[in-house]
Amino acid sequence: MTRVVVAGAGIGGLTLGIALARAGVTVDLHERATELREVGAAVALSANGTRLLYRLGVGEALDAVSTQPTELIHRDGRTGARIAAHPGGAAYRARFGAPYWGVHRVDLQQALAAAFVDAAGAEHLHLGHAVTAVDTDGGTLTLDDGSEVGGDVVVGADGVHSTVRDAVTGPGTGPRYSGTSAFRGLVPVDALPSLPDPLAIQFWAGPDAHLLHYALGRDDDTVNFFAVLCGPATWEGGTREARDGELLDAFAGWHPAVREMLAAVPQSPRWPLLSQPALTRWTRGRAALIGDACHAMLPHHGQGANQSIEDAVVLAHLIVEHDPATALAAYPRRRRARTRAIAASAWDTGTLLHLADDHPRLVERDRRFAGYLPANDWVHEHDAADLTTTTRSPA
């Protein structure tokens, strides 16, 4: 019987653990954090992710704590004019066969962790166990207490700063700063009287910046925002404290609803947005990478977590159906083209959201926003659990 050990119990690691344990595979998750808590505030999950969560038995629980956006709206950031809109809610669910959710990360983590413990047993979730080294040929993870754990397959689900990735692809192959950075916040809907369509997911586009927000949670009473700025040109290290007023100054002259939202809560630290250059290796020896460990992408498509879920489900299917070597050989072939296409599309979306007023691509931008669906049906309609279909790529 195949035994799997996983570094990281984030969205991808937990999903992989549930899928394997439900199929009877022995799987242990080793997570650096001592408790599974919020990593960032919120996450939006689209049908390509949520249909898989339903199949894994966590759909109902998550539906109960999520908001379904009423619409996807693109607006001009200064005038507030609607550039384009697409129906959300029941219409989206009918179109793609699964919902779009805005959910608190802590709710998502806890639902996934509960399902994993139910399927595998609490003794297979090891918190406070940081992986410090990996032997890809021997299939072992070294933990920070010096002990070693081994399996037929070891999986790096340890996120954007992955230790396992360094062992699989070599040091220095990790993500790069994108030249863009962001602030985020959670605002009570009641604090946003100027906001049109507060329960929609909305992009407000403008020169060198954009604002994304959506409602989330059980009571539809909170809006999560993510304000992206071009620059600075270089960035060292992780998040940094920003100067007082740095965020609002960057959005001077923007629509009152935008400024009202940004001013409604204390300014967050400023985050560098990272993007992983495409990796040719996703596996080495007995080790494989999933999620941000191998394809951290810009968040402008809301697809990083969804792609981690897809990776997890595909890898679990292959491990259940094949011997480990065959499974690991097949896995990147199933996933590489799709994740690369989505990462490239997320990058391009960021460019379109930040065009100057006189930019020659403005007409194209508005046409692309108007045609978001069906142009992006290939992202949302995908069923990663169906290993008999090949990935449909962007038109």
Residues near ligand FAD, by CB under 6 A: 7-13, 30-33, 39-40, 43-44, 130-131, 157-159, 163, 182, 184, 226, 291-293, 299, 302-306, 308
Least Å distance between CB 128 and ligand FAD? 9
- Which tokens hold the place of 43? 């996450």
Q: Are strands 209-216 and 222-230 parallel, antiparallel or unpaired?
A: antiparallel
Name the residue nearer to ligand FAD (CB basis): 127 or 253: 127
Return the bridge partners of 75, or none: 82, 204
Least Å distance between CB 77 and ligand FAD? 19
Name the residue nearer to ligand FAD (CB basis): 61 or 133: 133
Amino acid at 296: A
Count Cβ atoms below 10 Å from residue 269 Cβ, excluding itself: 12
User: Which segments of the chain are extended strands (E)?
Assistant: 3-7, 26-31, 42-45, 71-76, 82-87, 101-104, 125-127, 131-135, 140-143, 148-150, 153-156, 176-188, 201-206, 209-216, 222-230, 271-275, 283-284, 287-289
Q: Is 366 helix (H, G, I), strand (E, B) or coil?
A: helix
- Which tokens hold the place of 372? 């978001």
Q: Find all residues with CB under 8 Å of 246, minimum gap 6, and list them.
A: 267, 270
Name the residue nearer to ligand FAD (CB basis): 110 or 366: 110
- What gap in Å lies between CA 38 and CA 224, rounded to an integer? 14
Q: Which DSSP string corresponds to 83-98?
A: EEEEE-HHHHHHHHSS
Q: Which residues are catalytic?
A: 214
Q: Which DSSP string corresponds to 112-163?
A: HHHHHHHHH-GGGEEET--EEEEETTTTEEEETTS-EEE-SEEEE---TT-H
Least Å distance between CB 8 and ligand FAD? 3
Return the bridge partners of 73, or none: 85, 202
φ, ψ dihedrals at 352, nearest 5°: -65, -35
- What gap in Å lies between CA 161 and CA 157, rounded to an integer? 10
- What gap in Å lies between CA 112 and CA 60, rounded to an integer? 12
